[in-house]
Amino acid sequence: MKKIEIYGLRIDREIVPGDDIAKLIITAAESNGVKILDGDIIVVCSKVVAKSENRIIFLESVKPSEEAIRIATATDKDPRLVELILRESREILKIERNNIITLTKHGIVGANAGIDQSNTGGTGRVVLLPIDPDTSAKNIRRRIKSELGIDTAVIVSDTYGRPFREGQINLAIGFAGICPYRDYRGLSDRDGYILRIKNIAIVDEIAAAAELVMGQSTENTPFAIVRGIEYSRCEDTSFKDIVMPKERWLFR
Amino acid sequence: MKKIEIYGLRIDREIVPGDDIAKLIITAAESNGVKILDGDIIVVCSKVVAKSENRIIFLESVKPSEEAIRIATATDKDPRLVELILRESREILKIERNNIITLTKHGIVGANAGIDQSNTGGTGRVVLLPIDPDTSAKNIRRRIKSELGIDTAVIVSDTYGRPFREGQINLAIGFAGICPYRDYRGLSDRDGYILRIKNIAIVDEIAAAAELVMGQSTENTPFAIVRGIEYSRCEDTSFKDIVMPKERWLFR
């Protein structure tokens, strides 16, 4: 029988710039009574990664452009926030009913370029996404390996809405040490039918699963350890493999 | 520390029309050595629900309409399959590059009205989605309660692509005994910022998590038991609470 275990790791303090996320994970695992094992998948909330990388911006330091002021008026947002959204985006996809949907420089489609106004560590500040969540994941993975001698996979996760469904779920925005897919294409089913589409984005499913223990920032559980999943270990993969190229988008 | 456990329940035979899914779950739990407990969330693959409800269609019995033949030619599909897609859909949203994206009568946006050509139990047949996955979930939940005297939640899950990401993940298409969301809106963060958006669709995250043990049909694991999740038990909710009304769609 297949069995998965997911442990939420609480920490008791705010993450600040310069924090060593790998060490915090190791310490949190110890204090939560979980031993990190070979093959464990560690899911890390993007906001703590971003904070440790000093992606915190004080809004008073931001001078909005004319375009930002125009969009801010149309969407009832702070023009300084909109300025940051513009700077973080490759493209603004939609401005509609107070929503700004962007394509970020990472290739992520979502609201407000992933800039977060909640749990930023204080008022008047926002947190941008990590510059390169794949590299963040790789660094955490490498540091855990060097500290513990243990091979893990790392997934950086964030919360996203869905175009045709209410509410949000967590998805992966960067990962290391794990092949993002379980690919069934070309395999034959029990009746000889060849599967043509099925290519399951397990990194997104793992990020979603981990949210169930991590919750949102108010729960002080920025890390999860996911154990028991069959996955392919690989080094040469990145978030680019998840990004659907724009020419394949069916909805615009 | 929060901890979730997810057990995949294998079964060794094909599901056929008339099968009692609740009894199969109870038997599979026993034979897999898992005791069903109060509060467990049982995830069930939509295809086995559909098969038990005799939603299997032999293509030779289907007479395609002219519209179906026209769309089938444009998308390189079997006209009889397209005829079924049309019948199951409230609306065809996109016909583009061999994809037919539909809004089903349930309110689900996805490819081919969710009609499946793989693992159908034999060649020349397809499996439609359950007519009403909420009712399917309610029935399974009620039957488990009456057989074991245990209160569980039930989620029916299926596999969906995403508009801006490659690959697919599992999502909920019907549920019973569980509030679909963990709602943070109106709550204050640690710094006093009021959350305005966060409303996590935990039923979708649970469906995604369960896929990690269930895999696709070839793995013969159509059921998962998810344990340890904090959720609100409720009766008066349905998939309609997940469906985003069309007037709120930002992408078309």
Query: For every residue of A125-164, which 3-state class applies, written as one string?
Result: EEECCCCCHHHHHHHHHHHHHHHHCCCCEEEEEEEEEECC
Using the Cα atoms of residue B104, residue B83, residue B215 and residue B11 in order, give the sign of their dihedral: positive
The 10s digit of each residue's pLDDT in A56-104 is 999 999 999 999 999 999 999 999 999 999 999 999 999 998 999 999 9
A168 and B119 within 8 Å at the Cβ level: the answer is no
Alpha-carbon torsion A151, A156, A157, A162, what sign? negative
Of the candidates A4, A212, A249, which has its C-beta nearest B206's C-beta?
A: A212
User: Contact at 8 Å (CB) between B231 and B178?
Assistant: yes
**Domain map of chain A by residue range?**
5-54+130-235, 57-125
Residue of B34, B202, B251 with shortest CB distance to A212: B202
The Cα A126–Cα B190 span in angstroms is: 14
Please, is B133 exposed, middle or buried when counting C-beta atoms within 10 Å of its C-beta (0-12, 13-18, 19+)? Answer: buried
Cβ(B119)–Cβ(B126) below 8 Å: no
For domain B5-55+131-245, the CATH superfamily is CofE-like (3.30.1330.100)
- pLDDT for A105 beyond 80: yes
Q: Are A47 and A119 in contact (CB under 8 A)?
A: yes
Pull the structure tokens for residue B142.
């009620």
- Chain A interface, best mutation among B31, B32, B81, B165, by max A CB count within 10 A: B165
Structure confidence by residue, pLDDT tens digits, A181-235: 999 999 998 888 999 999 999 999 999 999 999 998 778 999 999 999 999 999 8
Q: Is the separation of the CB atoms in A65 and A79 below 8 Å?
A: no
**Quick one: pLDDT band at residue A127, thresholds 50, 70, 90?**
very high
Contact B134, B176 (CB under 8 A): yes
Contact B134/B235 with Cβ under 8 angstroms?
no
Query: What six digits make up the tokens of A1?
Result: 């029988």
- Among A47-51, B27-31, B181-185, B193-197, which stretch is predicted with the lowest mean pLDDT? B193-197
Residue B73 belongs to what H/E stretch?
helix B66-75
Mean pLDDT of B13-21: 95
Per-residue pLDDT for B11 more than 90?
A: yes
Tell the burial category of A218 from Cβ atoms under 10 Å away from its Cβ (0-12, 13-18, 19+): middle
CB distance A109–B215 less than 8 Å?
A: no
d(CA A37, CA B94) in angstroms, rounded, equals 46
pLDDT digits (tens, 9 = 90+) for A129-149: 999 999 999 999 999 999 999
Burial B37-52 (b: 16+ CB within 10 A, else e): eebbbbbbbbbbbbbb
The structure's pTM equals 0.98
- Closest-CA distance, A11 to chain B, in angstroms, reads 10
Nearest CA of chain A to the CA of B94: how many Å? 7
Rounded CA separation A209/A43 (Å): 10
E strand residue ranges, chain A: 3-9, 41-45, 56-58, 89-96, 99-104, 109-111, 125-127, 153-162, 165-176, 181-183, 199-201, 223-227
Q: Which CATH class is domain A57-125?
A: alpha beta
Question: How far is A45 from chain B, CA to nearest CA, in Å?
Answer: 15
Whether B150 and B176 have beta carbons less than 8 Å apart is answered as: no
The answer to ipTM > 0.90 is yes
What angle, rounded to 10 degrees, do the helices at A21-31 and A133-148 form?
60
Position B189 confidence tier, pLDDT thresholds 50, 70, 90: confident
Instruction: State how far the Cα of A210 lies from the Cα of A43, in Å rounded to an integer.
Output: 7
For residue B27, the tally of other CB atoms under 10 A from its CB is 13
Q: What φ, ψ does residue A186 adopt, rounded to 5°? A: 90, -15
The pLDDT, as a whole number, for residue B191 is 86
CB within 8 Å: B250 and A101: yes
Q: How far is A42 from chain B (nearest CA, A)?
A: 14
Nearest to B224 by CA among B24, B3, B25: B25
Pairing of strands A41-45, A153-162: parallel
C-alpha to C-alpha distance for B20 and B42, rounded to whole angstroms: 15
Of B8, B33, B250, the CB nearest to A163: B250
* pLDDT given for residue A135 in this prediction: 98
Instruction: Tell me which residue of A179, A154, A175, A170 sits closest to A43, measured CA to CA.
Output: A154
- pLDDT at position B250: 95
B163 and A159: CB-CB below 8 Å?
Answer: no
Rounded Cα–Cα distance for residues A230 and A217 (Å)? 28
A213 → closest Cβ in B2, B9, B121: B2
Domain A5-54+130-235 CATH superfamily: CofE-like (3.30.1330.100)
A198–B243 CB contact, under 8 Å: no
Sign of CA dihedral A44, B9, B166, B175: negative
